[in-house]
Amino acid sequence: MSVYAVTNPATGVVEATYPTATDADIQAALGLAHGAFGSWNTTEIAVRAALLNRVADLYEERRDELSAIITREMGKPIFQSGKEIDITVSIYRYYAANGAKFLADEELEVAAGGTALIRKEGVGALLGIMPWNFPYYQVARFAAPNLMNGNTILLKHAPQCPESALAMEQIFADAGAPEGAYVNIFATNDQVAGIIADPRVQGVSLTGSERAGSAVAEIAGRNLKKVVLELGGSDPFLVLEDANVKRAAKQAMVGRFGNTGQACNAAKRIIVDASVYDEFVENFTGAVAGIKVGDPAHPETFLGPLSSAAARDGLAAQVQDAIDKGATVLAGGAALQGDGSFFAPTVLADVTEDMRAYTEELFGPVAVLYKVSGDAEAVALANASAYGLGASIQTEDMDRAHSIARQLEVGMVSINQTSGSAAELPFGGVKRSGVGRELGKYGMEEFVNRKLVTFRG
């Protein structure tokens, strides 16, 4: 049976299956992407920009259809699915508008005289291994800058997202992309290992789990291939004693439970100063109690099902471990009965180091609250994680906020707002949250040949 299937997580029903690529299919895809690189890399930048703008146009025209696909594939509430299309469109338009500027030659000073330039060019065919939680957005932040660079794309999507994967490939075809510029592959893990090792592939970008990132990086390292890895996160959300507590509670609720809590940069560990802890708990649990859970196809649903039964059961085991070891349940605490992979919006307190919830990423609608005394303790707890993706600081003192931001071991800090994303802002982390950056200017600089050209006269 194919591993690529649409299993509606709201019902548990397998709605469609798709054949996995044969080895011959993979070789054909590699040949197409590699063969297209030479001509695409020498195509005028204005032509590349026009392609990205046309891709954005088609996303806008097909917004409702595309939104419905991912709501059915991975359970994203339909309103949030539409918002994902909107940011995807913004990414393609951003690189279409700014690509020429980012690729402009850079002149260097030469001590011995003469002139030197850095010329930015594509490097070849790239493999993108993308996750299910943001099926369109994650692909856009890899594909848009690299197509603008002149690279070609082999896209291996998550097995539960075959229809969105095919819809994206169709968009590129309908937009007029040259054959081989963007190629979808329904590959197995074994086939992926062979693709990474293939000399026709020049780099790999993966968004996914720490385990998957480690496996990909190992293969890529053996074959001298560059990687960009955006992996897990356990982002701290710091509420200082001078914070606007009501605002902080509302932002923490949205930041934790958006996309059913299935986001790497969600506000997973909420660290609250003791002086405002009780007030925050009251406001936060009140906000959580108001979350509408239900059919993700309903426009008023905020929290849909987890992406799969396996994801639901894994999260339940993590939560039950904490409860068994003495954690306090302030809301929820278990999977919901009935069809589908639904889990109650959950708030845990009194989580200690011997619990899985203390060190593991909770990829679902579970928030963990911690009470601390003072900034030093808050920072120490925030940094007590193997992950280092993002963080949020809630305070009315900007000098204090910037001081704490400098102390946090993360790639991104948001002050008085939840962690988010925008086309122009670089995204990425440190420690076991990965390497490299996506989006913004820096997203175009990962897979380029910075070719030095020197001359006299």
Residue 424 carries which side chain, given as an amino acid letter? E
**Cα separation, 372 vs 388, whole angstroms:** 20
Q: Which residues participate in catalysis according to the annotation?
A: 230, 264
**Residue 378 contacts residue 238 (beta carbons within 8 Å):** yes
Residue 392 carries which side chain, given as an amino acid letter? S
**Cα separation, 252 vs 291, whole angstroms:** 13
Q: How far is CA 353 from CA 163, 341, 350, 388, 445, in A?
A: 41, 28, 10, 18, 39
Q: Which long-range contacts (CB under 8 A, 24 or more apart) does 187-191 make?
A: 187/20, 187/21, 187/26, 187/156, 188/3, 188/20, 188/21, 191/21, 191/23, 191/26
User: Which residue, 221, 216, 194, is CA-closest to 205?
Assistant: 216
**Cα separation, 456 vs 454, whole angstroms:** 7
457: CB partners within 8 A, 6+ apart = none
**Cα separation, 60 vs 54, whole angstroms:** 10
